[in-house]
Amino acid sequence: MISARDITKTFNAGKPNEFTAVSEVTLAIDFHRVTILKGPSGSGKTTLLGIVGCMSRPTSGRIFLGEREITSLPERFLTDIRRRTFGFIFQQFNLIKGLTVLDNVMTPAYPTSERFPSLRKRALETLALFNLEHKADAKVEWLSGGEAQRTAIARSLINNPSIIIADEPTAHLDTKLSHEFMAIMRRLKGEGKTIILSSHDPIVYDSDLADSVVEMRDGRIVSSGPRP
């Protein structure tokens, strides 16, 4: 279980533009389940995902990954946890332009010491899961929206993480591609992955895939529980 206890995140503290994105949030996310953070833009979903995924630290409060308290870990350890435990799918995909699909997928594994032939083989196998093996040598800027999304998913899986975090994954997809994305998530859930999605798209939060839906507004949780 991932536990967030009394999490508050304030940006630009002490400055005139001080802004609290997340305020006193307490949350429990079960492993091997799909949790959806729902709420309008600016409700604090992305900030909370970033904190849960070890991308940033809360201003106050604590995060537990299983039994381990991770909030106070040094940067190096946080990076290591982020690389091994989490796979991120960003709203803007955040693929690195100019590099090939294969290079993008392998990038998260570069700081590991895995031998190149083995890494390449795994990356190609991961691409094959999403029918992208024929695009391995294509530059990412040549991809369609759906292909870019699938490349981003393949990249998030290259280090075989146990938790997938996706921030507004369907924001740039049409209805058909959004359903395709949810189908992939279903497959990953079936493989035992923990999935945390943030979205204000009904295709996502009304999906029968969701085990738990957390609704946020103005940086606070207004409701949480199993999908109604």
Q: Which amino acid is at 52?
A: V
41 scored as a contact of another protein (CB under 8 A): no
218 scored as a contact of another protein (CB under 8 A): no
159 scored as a contact of another protein (CB under 8 A): yes
142 scored as a contact of another protein (CB under 8 A): no
Beta pairing partners, 11: 19
Q: Please report, to the nearest 10 degrees, the dihedral formed by the alpha carbons of residues 205, 163, 130, 167 taken in order.
A: 40
Q: Which is nearer to another protein, 99 or 206 (CB)?
A: 99
- 81 to 120, contacts with another protein by CB under 8 A? 82-84, 88, 90-91, 94, 96-99, 103, 107-116, 119
Tokens standing for residue 52:
């849960």
Residues 21 and 9 sit within 8 Å (Cβ to Cβ): yes
75 scored as a contact of another protein (CB under 8 A): yes
Q: Which is nearer to another protein, 99 or 186 (CB)?
A: 99
Beta pairing partners, 111: none
Tokens standing for residue 100:
């090939």
Q: Distance between alpha carbon 98 and the CA centroid of its chain, in Å?
A: 23
Chain residues that interact with another protein, rule: CB under 8 A: 46-47, 49-51, 53, 55-57, 75-76, 79, 82-84, 88, 90-91, 94, 96-99, 103, 107-116, 119, 155, 159, 167
